Amino acid sequence: MKNPWEEIPLADYENHMKLDSVMQLQAMNEMMKAQFDDYPVSNIMILGVAGGNGLEHISKDKFERVYGVDVNSDYLKEVIHRYSDLDEILECLCINLLNETDKLPKTDMVIANLLIEYIGYECFQKVIRQANPRYVSSIIQINTEENWVSESPYLHVFDGLEQVHHPMEEHALEQSMLEIDYHAIKILERMLPNGKKLVRLDFRREI
């Protein structure tokens, strides 16, 4: 069975995310700049990189390697096209995290934004064990209403995601990370126009 993310056109996804009533693309872009800046790491892995939102904040002076991981190969082609200036350090990997965890390389830091919702806590634990980063920075969406996809003209493009979506809760994520020896070190919240909120939770592996 194909992952439903392989069927969603990038233009539809991005146009939905940047609507004034949604504003997730813009909020994530700002939050990602801080994610890139906050920790002393030289290589990072961005899970669910999609079209590369936020990659313009990558400094070639700081990072030696940036892995962009996504299940949709068309998304990754667009990332390579959009960010050709990063070709010396950017490596795109087409990997289905649900069943190809063993293909992930090791890295200093994993960034997982609006990603854990689509693989679940247990699979995310496997991902982190494989990549073995010192730092993990994640952004999850907390819903204040029943509909977890915001109303928009693109709404039905996301119908297939129901089969892989997992509701998120801050404490549950903290607990699942603690089970694999990652301790929460930062929590930030960002409210969105439609009443939803983005929560950034960062973790560090104790040495």
In a 10 Å sphere around its CB, with 0-12 CB exposed, 13-18 middle and 19+ buried, how is residue 182 labelled?
buried
- pLDDT tens for each residue of 99-113: 999 999 999 999 999
Report the distance separating Cα 116 and Cα 129, nearest Å: 15
Whether 148 shows a pLDDT value over 50: the answer reads no
> What pTM value is reported for the model?
0.93
Complete domains list, the chain, with CATH: 4-205 (3.40.50.150)
Q: pLDDT, tens digit, for every residue of 38-96?
A: 999 999 999 999 999 999 999 999 999 999 999 999 999 999 999 999 999 999 999 99
pLDDT per position as a tens digit, 22-45: 889 999 999 999 999 999 999 999
Quick one: pLDDT band at residue 146, thresholds 50, 70, 90? low
Angle of helix 10-17 relative to helix 73-82, nearest 10 degrees?
Answer: 70
Q: Shortest CA distance to 82 belongs to which of 56, 58, 64, 59? A: 56
